[in-house]
């Protein structure tokens, strides 16, 4: 036998003690051929296509999970950005389509379906405007439908008119779900430089460059990285990077194997592996705790950015070695509500909103799952989105904003979102207005970085 | 047909009949053992077996039967396809 017992033990320990898991197997489905001038026909076609393509997704994933002994936590679906098939549909019909997607997700037994989306980073078309107008209601009346809106890219600049609308949409969606702490906003991501093959929610959609159907896999394992580092308390930072890299390599290989098996059994091409350290509220499954293990008393203190940059880069390097097709966001996620370490950082006054913003410069996404005071203005939300978009645009990376202005809540209160979404301390925002900037509208031109031809 | 192989690993406090009970499950399911190794370290029993599961459509049945033995003897028994270890530990 050419596998040593210690190696078998290591794999089993990673799964059973250190929360190694495949976070998501996401099936991307192209819905373009469902477009129809008759809305009822389109609505039915969308439902039929999703439920037939993904009919075996859950069962196949569960079988692979048992055979390989590695849990697959979520089975999900991403679809063609819905705005691209809406055509002349009305706002009410767009909401109806969201309900259809919700119904399809429930029938298939999957927790989220992503792609109630629009790419408006340069301009807003008629059907995209319909989707934006429908968005607050669509998010409020559905449970499992996720939306992402692209408002900026490095190549196009920032569409500030769309950014202004998004601030209002977020406020509106929060207000419509005020009985559930504004939960609708947890299903909406505002992107700069979105990726077309991201398997993680809420930002997953099946991009224009993708094929008919595809399986993308997201692997996670902050707990595994944390425990690996705990075994080397005195290593220097070069060694720390190396440990993270090696751990990321192993995790990615496990994910790629299972992803390929699932794809083959479903007779769908394997797309990409997204190796992202995505925390959960489970004990020790925290990205913040890795940063603290590297040497911070609390996440958010001086040195946080340096530690995060080291970790994010090492994760990418390990992942890139392990898989031929690394894609998605691949890096570290820093959602606040889903990470016990982040929550503690905020409660202990170590971690602030400006620091979180700065962290998004060196991690794989952006401001994620942050609860804000209910009285924050739409213009301030828009300005927050604009700041993140600017960071992404200039640094040629994906950034995102997923914030929840919790109606009626004040700074310091704790709100529960339930399940995977966790809980978060409400954060205050800068009290000074950004109204004028947002009212100006127009586009922020593409930066010099875009002129690379 | 390509052989499908799985690794059965057993960890727990050493006692009489571990190997007998585990291999009985395998024999009942007509599974051939290809390789076996075991060590005892300070009363701690560890065993791993490489088995041929080419004929097994699902590992569910085995999972259930091993779970029963696990509870009976207070052991941890896992069965996983061999490829996962190859993928994670071999370049």
| DSSP per-residue string spanning A185-221 | GGGEEEEES--TT--SSSS----TT--SEEEEEEEE-
In this structure, are residues A337 and A422 in contact, taking their beta carbons and an 8 Å threshold?
yes
Residue where the block lists tokens 């099946």: A206
CB-based contact A8:B7 (threshold 8 Å): yes
CA A49 to chain centre: 25
Q: Does A68 touch chain B (CB under 8 A)?
A: yes
Contact A218, A274 (CB under 8 A): yes
- Distance from C-alpha of A389 to C-alpha of A399, rounded to nearest angstrom: 6
B87 contacts chain A (CB < 8 A): yes
* Tokens, residue A278: 């995505």
pLDDT band at A144 (very low <50, low <70, confident <90, very high): very high
Q: Is residue B2 predicted with pLDDT exceeding 80?
A: no
Residue A347 touches chain B, beta carbons under 8 Å? no
Residue of A nearest to B47 (CA): A5
A164 contact B CB<8A: no
Q: Rounded to whole angstroms, how far apart are CA atoms A389 and A272?
A: 25
**Strand segments (E) across A235-383:** 270-277, 331-332, 367-373
Distances (CA, A) of B12 to A279, B44, B64: 31, 6, 18
Q: How far is CA A219 from CA A77, A435, B4, in A?
A: 16, 40, 25
* Chain A residues near residue B37 by CB distance under 8 angstroms: 1, 5
**CA distance linking residue A376 with residue A431, whole number of Å:** 9
Is B67 at the interface with chain A, CB within 8 A? no
Q: Which residue of B has its CA nearest to A14?
A: B88
Closest residue by Cα to residue B48 from A251, A68, A13, A6: A6
- Tell me how far apart the alpha carbons of residues A4 and B20 are, in angstroms, rounded to a whole number: 23
d(CA A264, CA A267): 5
Query: Strands A157-159, A414-416: parallel, antiparallel or unpaired by DSSP?
Result: unpaired
Q: Which of B48, B79, B87 is facing A5, going by the closest CB pair?
A: B48
Is the CB of B89 less than 8 angstroms away from the CB of A7? yes
Where does chain A hold its CATH 3.20.70.20 domain(s)? 23-192, 219-444
**Chain B residues near residue A8 by CB distance under 8 angstroms:** 7, 9, 48, 85
Would an 8 Å CB–CB cutoff place A69 in contact with chain B?
Answer: yes
pLDDT of residue A220: 84
Strands annotated E in A259-353 = 270-277, 331-332
User: What residues of chain A, 94 to 153, have a C-beta less than 8 Å from chain B?
Assistant: none
Gap from A92 CA to chain B (nearest CA, Å): 46
**Closest to A66 (Cβ–Cβ): which among B11, B60, B86?**
B60
Which chain A residues have a beta carbon less than 8 Å from that of B46?
Answer: 5, 9
Structure tokens, A386:
């604009």
Residues 6+ positions from A431 with CB-CB distance below 8 Å: none
| Contact yes or no for B84 and A256 at CB 8 A | no
Distance between CA atoms of A45 and B28, rounded to whole angstroms?
48
Give the mean pLDDT of A156-183. Answer: 96
Select the residue from B54, B85, B90, B91 to test the A interface by mutation, using most A Cβ atoms within 10 A: B85
- Residue B84: left (phi > 0), alpha (psi -120 to 50), or beta? alpha
Using CB atoms, which residue from A1, A9, A254 is nearest to B37?
Answer: A1
Cα dist. A398→A320, B10, B50 in Å?
18, 45, 45
CATH 3.30.70.20 is right for the domain spanning A219-444: no
pLDDT at A350 over 80: yes
Say if residue B41's pLDDT is above 80: no
Query: Whole-angstrom Cα distance, residue A308 to residue A361?
Result: 10
Output A54 or A7, whichever has higher pLDDT: A54
Residue with tokens 């009410």: A92
User: How many separate domains does chain B show?
Assistant: 1
Confidence category of residue B1, pLDDT binned at 50, 70, 90: low
**Which pLDDT belongs to residue A1?**
52
Complex-level ipTM: 0.84
Interface test with B, best of A7, A68, A248 (most B CBs within 10 A): A68
How many percent of chain B have pLDDT more than 90?
37
Q: For A5, name the nearest residue in chain B, comparing CA atoms only.
A: B48
- CA A284 from centre of chain: 21
Average model confidence (pLDDT) for chain A? 94
Q: What are phi and psi of A21, to 5 degrees?
A: -155, 160
Cα(A375)–Cα(A240) distance, integer angstroms:
43
Task: Look at the block and give the residue holding tokens 């109630």.
Answer: A116
Across the interface, do A253 and B87 touch by the CB < 8 Å criterion?
Answer: yes
Check whether domain A23-192 has CATH 3.10.310.30, yes or no: no
A257/B84 CB distance under 8 A: yes
Q: Match 């593409």 to its residue by tokens.
A: A446
| Residue B51 structural domain | 5-89
CATH label of the domain that carries residue B83: 3.30.70.260
Distance CA A25, CA A262 (A): 8
Q: SS3 for B12?
A: strand
Q: Is A324 exposed, middle or buried (0-12, 13-18, 19+ CB in 10 A)?
A: exposed
Q: Give, as one character, the DSSP assignment of residue A178.
A: G
In chain A, the percentage of residues whose pLDDT exceeds 70 is: 100
CA atoms lying within 13 Å on the CB side of residue A316: 16
pLDDT of B40 reads 81
Chain A CB within 8 Å of residue B63 CB: yes
User: B46 has which bridge partners?
Assistant: B11, B39
> CB contact, 8 Å: A13 with chain B?
no
Which chain B residues have a beta carbon less than 8 Å from that of A69?
Answer: 78-80, 84
Mean pLDDT of A197-226: 92
């Amino acid at each position: 036998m050419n596998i040593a017992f210690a190696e078998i033990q290591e794999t089993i320990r990673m799964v059973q003690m250190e929360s190694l898991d495949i976070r998501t197997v996401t099936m991307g489905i192209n819905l373009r051929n469902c477009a129809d001038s008759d809305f009822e026909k389109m609505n039915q076609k969308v439902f039929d296509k999703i439920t037939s393509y993904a009919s075996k997704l859950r069962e196949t994933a569960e079988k692979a999970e048992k055979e390989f002994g590695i849990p697959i936590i979520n089975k999900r679906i991403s679809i063609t950005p819905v705005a691209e098939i809406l055509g002349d549909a009305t706002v009410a019909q767009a909401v109806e389509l969201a309900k259809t997607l919700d119904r399809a997700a429930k029938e298939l037994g999957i927790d989220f379906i992503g792609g109630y989306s629009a790419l408006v980073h340069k301009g807003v078309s008629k059907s995209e405007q319909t989707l934006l107008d429908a968005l607050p209601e669509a998010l409020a009346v559905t449970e499992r439908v996720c939306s992402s809106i692209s408002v900026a890219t490095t190549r196009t600049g920032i569409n500030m008119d769309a950014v202004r609308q998004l601030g209002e949409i977020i406020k509106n969606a929060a207000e419509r779900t005020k009985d559930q702490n504004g939960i609708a906003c947890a299903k909406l991501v505002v992107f700069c430089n979105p990726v077309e093959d991201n398997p993680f929610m809420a930002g997953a959609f099946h991009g224009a460059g993708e094929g008919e159907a595809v399986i993308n896999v997201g692997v996670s394992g902050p707990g595994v990285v944390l425990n690996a580092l705990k075994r080397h308390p005195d290593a220097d930072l070069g060694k720390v990077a190396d440990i993270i890299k090696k751990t990321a390599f192993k995790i990615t290989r496990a994910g790629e194997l299972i992803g390929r098996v699932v794809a083959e059994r479903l007779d769908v091409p394997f797309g990409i592996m997204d190796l992202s350290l995505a925390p959960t509220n489970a004990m020790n499954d925290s990205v913040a705790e890795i940063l603290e293990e590297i040497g911070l008393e609390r996440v958010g203190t001086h040195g946080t950015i340096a530690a995060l940059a080291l970790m994010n880069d090492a994760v990418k390097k390990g992942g890139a070695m392990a898989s031929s097709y690394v894609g998605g966001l691949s890096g570290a996620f820093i959602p606040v509500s889903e990470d016990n370490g982040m929550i503690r950082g905020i409660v202990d006054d170590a971690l602030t909103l400006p620091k979180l913003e700065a962290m998004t410069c060196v991690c794989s996404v952006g401001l994620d799952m942050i609860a804000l005071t209910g009285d924050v203005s739409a213009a301030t939300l828009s300005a927050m989105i604009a700041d993140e978009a600017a960071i992404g645009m200039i640094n040629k990376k994906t950034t995102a904003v997923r914030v929840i202005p919790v109606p009626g809540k004040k700074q310091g209160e704790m709100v529960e979102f339930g399940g995977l979404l966790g809980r978060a301390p409400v954060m205050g925002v800068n009290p000074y207005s950004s109204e004028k900037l947002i009212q100006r509208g127009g586009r922020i031109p593409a930066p010099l970085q875009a002129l690379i031809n | 047909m390509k052989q499908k192989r799985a690794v059965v690993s057993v960890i727990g406090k050493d006692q009489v009949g571990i190997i007998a009970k585990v291999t009985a499950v395998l024999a009942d399911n007509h599974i051939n053992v290809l390789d076996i190794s075991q060590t005892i370290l300070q009363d701690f029993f560890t065993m791993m077996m490489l088995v041929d599961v080419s004929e097994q459509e699902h590992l569910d049945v085995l999972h259930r039967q091993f779970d029963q033995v696990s509870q009976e003897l207070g052991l941890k028994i896992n069965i996983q396809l061999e490829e996962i270890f190859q993928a994670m530990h071999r370049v």
